[in-house]
Each structure stands twice: as C-alpha cells, then as structure tokens.
Structure 1
Amino acid sequence: MHPPYDTAADRDRPVTLDRREGPYGEVVLRRRGGDGAGREGEAAAGAPVFEIIANGCFLMDTSDGRSERLLIRAALDALPAARPAPALLIGGLGVGFSLAEAAAEPRWGRIVVVEREEAVIDWHRSGPLGRISGAALADPRTEVVRADLVAHLRPGGSAATYDALCLDIDNGPDWTVTEDNGGLYSPAGLAACRDRLSPGGVLAVWSAQPSPAFEEALRIAGFTGVRTEEISVARGVPDVVHLAVRGA
C-alpha cells in the first residue's frame, strides 16, 4: 500500500522503479503520482504515469500515446488497401503504445518489435508497462527481437523484408539518444531501411519536432510520397510522423 501523499508536489515527484547500466548506457524507469489503475494506454485520473529515461535524456512516458499510435495508423493507411496481412517492423518498444495499436488492428500480419534494451523488454513482460502491452505481447503475430535496430536493418543483420517500418528509437532524426543512432538517418541508414521494405512499402519515423532536412534526406534516398503528419501536444511544437514510400 502506498503511503499517503502530503501535497500535490509530493504526488508528482518521480519515483525511480528500476535503474540499469547496459551496453548503451543507463536506462531508468520512473513513476509519477497515481494510485489508481487507469485504462490501457490512457492517463486516466489518478493513474500513475511511467517514464523512460536513457542516459539522462527523457524519451517518453505513458501520459499521452496519440502520436505513437498515429505512427502505426499512418503507415497502414499509406499502404495499398488490397495488400493482404502486411508485415510490420516496429523499431523501439518504448512504453508500448505503438505495439498495442498494431496488435489491435487485425489487418496487420507479422508484427516484429526490435528493442535493444533488455530492461525495457523486462518492464513490459514482468513489470508495470505490461498494462499497456500485455495483450499485444500475447498476440501470436507478435515477435520481440532484442537487437540494435541500426545493426538489424543493415546488410547482414536480417534478411527479412517488411511492408512497413515504424521507427521510434529517438526524440527524432535531429535529436538522437546515442551517437550511434545517427547512422539510421544517414544515407546508408536510409538505404538500409529502403532495402528492408517491399516495393510500395512505407517508412514511418516518429519525431518530437518537424525536420525539413530529414524530409529532403528521404527524397535523396529515393523515397517517394514524402510527407509529415502532425499531432498537437500540450506544450511546444507538435509531435510528428515522417512518412515515405519505397517505389514499386
């Protein structure tokens, strides 16, 4: 049973639930406030908010998953409607909103999640983030691969191809969590993404802010139909999803 909070500030003070050092640095799971259960994927009144911090950099929390869910919906909407059971790769498990959105959609076929942090996977399989992802992880279409996404996509990492790549491993192409992640948005990284897509497949990349430079990089890499979808947030610039299509 949680002790009573003295003030609203006490309720909002972050509590560290787990802290681990891994090959890519430190990852931390924190909880803010809440003594209610809440609903899956929603910050219901009284529900705790969970946060993931990597190397001191805030990545995401469970307060509002609209943009992470949009990442999946927008990719599916951009695919030809007649394409049966499209295969999806989700880059980054995060707090689980993207995976939950994908598993809730029966049109998706195989759903592969690539996550490099063992701690994050544990927080979903046996920790508090299972309230968001539990049903999706139990879905027979879902496979979780523990690997670095950049290495997984490049030649020699995986021979699989997908109809959609939905990537959310950074705060955006211009704000990476680790220096190595910058390779994903380089010409070689975008070529690797293109090569992992089937003809007409969709690349969707989440970002905390728009990036005209990244849009141009997508066009230079040979993608077509490059566009950006925005979703408003409580403060600051909108979250966005960058979308691009591999030519047929």
Structure 2
Amino acid sequence: MSTSYDIPEVLDRREGPWGEVVLRRHGALLQIIANGCFLMDTSDGRSERRLVDAALDALDDRPAPHVLIGGLGVGFSLAHAAANSRWGRITVVEREPAVIDWHRTGPLAELTRDALADPRTEIVEADLVEYVNETSATYDALCLDIDNGPDWTVTDGNDGLYAKPGLASCARVLRPGGVLAVWSAQPSPDFEETLGNVGFQQVRTEEIPVARGVPDVVHLGVRPG
C-alpha cells in the first residue's frame, strides 16, 4: 500500500536583502518562507483582520484615521483595512521587494488587487524599524505584524522593534491618543510590561483562538493624549 503526499510547489524563490524568500503553493494555500522558516500562509487570517479592527475600535470615533500597517505578508491586514471605509489612509511598510511583487503582479494579487487599487493605499518599500526611526510622518494607528511577534523573531534586527527603543519610536510617530496594535503568535506578558514602561496606556492583550496550539494575540496600547 503506497501513500502519496502533497508536496509544496515552489512558485518563486529570490535572494532578498535579508536572505532567501520563497513563495510556495501547498494545495489551496499560498505560503511565504524566509530563510527556510515558515512565516505565514493564506489558511485563515482572522487574527490579522482582528489586528486592524482592534486598532480602529480603540480609536473610537476619530474621523478618517491614517493607519500604518507594518508588514504586507499575504495581505490579510491590508485587504481588511481597505474593505472598511472608516480608514482615511492606509500605508503599508514592507521591506521585501519580492513580497511586494507577488502582490502587484504575482499569485498573491488575487488577495489584494482591490486593496492595492484603492486610492487610500500606499506601499512603502522599507525596513519598518528604520522607517519608524526616521520618518517625519505621523499616524493614528500602527498595526504591526512583523515576524512572529515579540518573543520569537526569525530575522535579525526585528527584535529591536519590540524593545524599548523601538517602541519609543512607535510612540513618536503616533498622534496623541493614537493606538499601537501588535500581532504575536503567542501571548507575551513581558512585552505587555514593556509597553507600559515605555509610556503606553490602556495596555491589554486580546487572544484570538486558532485551530491548533496556543492562541494568536493582539497587544494594544494607547499613546497618551
């Protein structure tokens, strides 16, 4: 008796600024692999969508807020933000040129074509850590989905975003009363404490159940008014 296995099909493989990135199709799913480590796929997206909604909910009735989404990924957060007319502007910062290409002209376009065509949407090719350190722009909300979250980063340098200096830069680019929302693959009490130590208020963690394992979470904090 023989058993057949569904082997992922490599759709594109590139050497990017931070190493190898691969786009694969595994059955009905599209997957992004970075330096041999699985990052994300198109299987669900409920926690990425909640990341955007939680930030918007925390802004109360602020008119036409401008959101910065850190990390394009497979596009769940962008597509969900663009589907909501309450957002005034949507800026996405993504450092991997290949990921941007896969959305503009590649297989991931099926998920974000409408969002990319939305006049509110702007894609910025940049490293998010450097961007928040250097930009003069300000935002009403930062929705960050970088790597696997505060406690498990795959790419060198991403951990700096979740330390005090990186969070201080996030606070700097937020307007008074602005919201920082951070996606994580697991709860992080230490990160929640760091948010408070940096000066964020109303710090809380929202859990989003997943099919298997520990829940995804969204960490939230508000810059004082």
TM over 0.5: yes
Mapping of residues 1-248 of structure 1, within 5 Å: 9-10=4-5, 12-33=6-27, 48-81=28-61, 83-154=62-133, 157-248=134-225
Structure 1 stretches of at least 4 aligned residues deviating more than 2 Å after TM superposition: 7-10
Gaps of 5+ in 2: none
Letter in 2 for 1:127: G
Q: 1:9 to 1:133 in 2, by over 3 A?
A: farther
TM-score between both structures, scaled by the size of structure 2: 0.97
Deviations 1:190-210 (A, max 9, x none): 000000100000000000000
Q: What is the CA distance between 1:23 and its match in structure 2?
A: 1.3
SS at match of 1:151: helix
Q: Tell me whether 53-62 or 145-154 shows the greater mean CA deviation.
A: 53-62
Structure-1-length-normalised TM-score: 0.88
Deviations 1:44-69 (A, max 9, x none): xxxx1000011111111000010010
Provide the alpha-carbon RMSD of the alignment: 1.1
Q: Kindly, what percent of the aligned residue pairs are identical?
A: 72
Letter in 2 for 1:63: S
CA distance in 2, matches of 1:114, 1:79: 21
Shift of 1:85: 0.3
Q: Number of paired residues? A: 224
